[in-house]
Chain A
């Protein structure tokens, strides 16, 4: 369904937070700690990553 393609279209930074948040099941605070960046940055980055992924999936017809 093109999910892997959509993921590969993200920037490395975006894929990183998706990987850590979803596949790694880390909390937002844990991601901040692991990456050494502020919690607010993690939230902004994760939101942007998810929005981009949503857009990529829509572009591929996986989501409306």
Chain B
């Protein structure tokens, strides 16, 4: 590796730990890391920083007065914990974009880099299996439950459904939203309740350029009977979010 190449690859360490390199860039950097002691040391130096960045991300308020229809629900320990970790984090979206002006929910593992690598690994495994005539079945996952209609509460008049399924480490929540307003200056926060765990804050997401958005969230808690989902709309011209959609259970 020439000195300019080394410097270019070294600078990619930032994109590597923060997420945001292309697969080709990641593979090139990882090949370089295998043979470059100084870059490995630099990576070890920088790698803890993103986890600390999560600590600087503000947590969405947990007792938002804008959510008016749960005022009669008893307060819980979680409601009072200012540092309660959001239990829902966005894990995928077809068109939604992460809000750039509001940090998403803490995401200590930065799944994008690992997700890309995992996807690459799966793709290689599938190709190998195909080459030798094997059929590799995808691991079976429980199906999502029937979609439940979200009830419009106010704001933009958006509509949509929510479906949930149990996951190994919690609950996956799939939102299919439509009639969304233009994304400029607007984003949403999804809030998930359980009947026994209080109210939990989810990550934020911004709708894409179309009026429809599919979003999948991962709740780091087991699904409890009586769960509820509400979507709060934040806009630049309002200091407080407004609940726009909620389940009616």
Are A51 and B46 in contact (CB-based, < 8 A)?
yes
User: Chain B residues near A40 (CB, 8 Å)?
Assistant: 8
The closest CB in chain B to the CB of A49 belongs to B14
Task: Let me know if B12 and A43 touch, CB within 8 A.
Answer: yes
**Distance in angstroms between the alpha carbons of A47 and B56 in the assembled complex:** 19
CB pair A22–B14 under 8 Å, yes or no, is: no
The interface size of chain A toward B, counting residues with CB under 8 Å, comes to 31
Known: A25-B104, A43-B11. A3 touches B20 (CB 8 A): no
Q: Which of B11, B25, B48 contacts A63 (CB under 8 A)?
A: B48
User: Are A62 and B20 also in contact (CB < 8 A) when A23-B104, A43-B12, A50-B14 are?
Assistant: no
CB <8 Å contact, B14 and A43: yes
In A8-35, the 8 Å CB interface with B consists of 18-31
B69 at the interface (CB under 8 A from A): no
Q: Is the CB of A20 within 8 A of B100?
A: yes
CB distance from A5 to the nearest CB of B (A): 9
- Taking a contact as CB atoms under 8 Å apart, the answer to whether A21 and B20 are in contact is yes
Complex Cα distance A28/B16, Å?
10
**Residue B223, interface by CB 8 Å:** no
Name the one of B14, B50, B56, B99 contacting A46, with C-beta atoms under 8 angstroms: B14
Q: Is the CB of B17 within 8 A of A50?
A: yes
Does B36 sit at the interface, judged by CB under 8 A? Answer: no
0/1 interface trace, chain B 11-50, chain A, CB 8 Å (1 if under): 1111101111110010000000000000000000110111
Q: Which of B52, B55, B112 contacts A25 (CB 8 A)?
A: B112
- B53 — nearest CB in chain A belongs to which residue? A22
A24 touches B99 (CB 8 A): yes
Contacts of B55 in A (CB 8 A): 1, 3
Q: Which residues of B contact A43 (CB under 8 A)?
A: 8, 11-12, 14-15
20 A–B pairs (Cβ distance < 8 Å), ordered by A:
A3-B52, A3-B56, A21-B14, A23-B98, A24-B99, A25-B19, A25-B98, A25-B104, A28-B15, A28-B20, A28-B25, A29-B22, A31-B20, A43-B12, A43-B15, A46-B11, A47-B10, A47-B11, A50-B46, A57-B52
- Which B residues are closer than 8 A to A by beta carbons? 8, 10-15, 17-22, 25, 45-46, 48-50, 52-53, 55-57, 98-100, 102-104, 112
